[in-house]
C-alpha cells in the first residue's frame, strides 16, 4: 500500500512540476535580448520556442488556437515560479553573484504552429568597468533540453560599450547536471 501511495505522490509532483512538459523530451530554442543603458543593465528578454511535436501537444492539451487562456497562463506561471528549481528554469549570475528576480510580461502563444514562451527579467544592475552575465536554463524535471544559439542572442546597448557573447557547458553541482549556458560580456 505504501508503495502505491509513494508512486502516486511522485507522479502528482512530476505532473505539476512543469506544466509545459510532456512525458517525452522536448527541445526548446532560446532567444535572449539583454538591454543596457548608459550605466545599468535594465532587462533581459527571454523567448523559448518549442519544437513542432511538443508545440502540437501543448496546443491540444490547452486548446490553444493563438493565445493561451488567462487562467491556464496563470497556472503555468505559478508552476514555473513555485515548482521549478530554479524558478522559471533560469539561473542568472552577474559578476559572480546569483541574482534573484521576478518575471514580467509573461506570455505563451502559438505562432507558425510553434509554441512560444516569452518573459522579461527586469533589472537595475549598475554596470562596472567589466561585466559578466551568465544565463543558464535548466529544467529540474529533465524533460526539456534548451538549445542556446549565439545567433539568437543580442546585447542592445549604447555604442560606447564593447560587447561579447559566448556559450558553453556548465556543471550545476547542486542538481548533478550539465547544461548549456550563455555568457555576455559588457565592458566600458
pLDDT at 14: 40
pLDDT at 187: 92
Say whether pLDDT at 32 is over 70. Answer: yes
| Distance between CA atoms of residues 169 and 156, nearest Å | 24
**Side-chain half-sphere of 58: how many Cα atoms within 13 Å?**
30
User: pLDDT tens, 86-129?
Assistant: 999 999 999 999 999 999 999 999 999 999 999 999 999 999 99
Say whether pLDDT at 3 is over 60. Answer: no
pLDDT at 159: 73
Output the nine-digit C-alpha cell for 50.
Answer: 518549442
User: pLDDT tens, 51-85?
Assistant: 999 999 999 998 888 889 999 999 999 999 998 88
- CATH code reported for the domain at 2-187: 2.70.170
Q: Which residue has the cell 547542486?
A: 174
pLDDT at 10: 39
Q: Return the ∠ at Cα 16 (arms to 14 and 19), rounded to 5°.
A: 115
Q: Which of the 8 DSSP states describes residue 84? A: S
Contact 148, 30 (CB under 8 A): yes
Domain boundaries, the chain: 2-187
Amino acid at each position: 500500500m505504501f508503495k502505491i501511495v509513494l508512486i502516486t505522490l511522485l507522479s502528482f509532483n512530476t505532473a505539476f512540476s512543469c506544466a509545459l512538459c510532456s512525458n517525452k523530451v522536448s527541445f526548446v530554442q532560446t532567444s535572449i535580448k539583454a538591454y543596457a543603458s548608459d550605466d545599468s543593465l535594465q532587462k533581459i528578454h527571454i523567448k523559448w520556442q518549442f519544437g513542432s511535436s511538443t508545440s502540437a501537444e501543448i496546443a491540444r492539451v490547452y486548446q490553444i488556437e493563438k493565445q493561451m487562456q488567462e487562467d491556464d497562463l496563470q497556472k503555468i506561471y505559478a508552476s514555473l515560479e513555485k515548482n521549478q528549481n530554479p524558478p522559471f528554469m533560469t539561473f542568472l549570475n552577474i559578476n559572480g553573484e546569483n541574482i534573484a528576480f521576478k518575471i514580467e510580461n509573461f506570455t505563451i502563444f502559438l505562432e507558425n504552429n510553434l509554441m512560444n514562451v516569452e518573459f522579461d527579467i527586469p533589472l537595475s544592475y549598475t554596470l562596472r568597468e567589466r561585466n559578466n552575465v551568465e544565463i543558464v536554463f535548466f529544467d529540474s524535471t529533465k524533460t526539456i533540453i534548451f538549445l542556446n544559439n549565439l545567433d539568437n542572442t543580442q546585447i542592445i546597448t549604447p555604442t560606447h560599450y564593447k560587447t561579447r557573447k559566448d556559450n558553453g557547458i556548465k556543471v550545476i553541482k547542486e542538481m548533478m547536471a550539465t547544461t548549456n549556458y550563455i555568457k555576455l560580456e559588457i565592458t566600458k
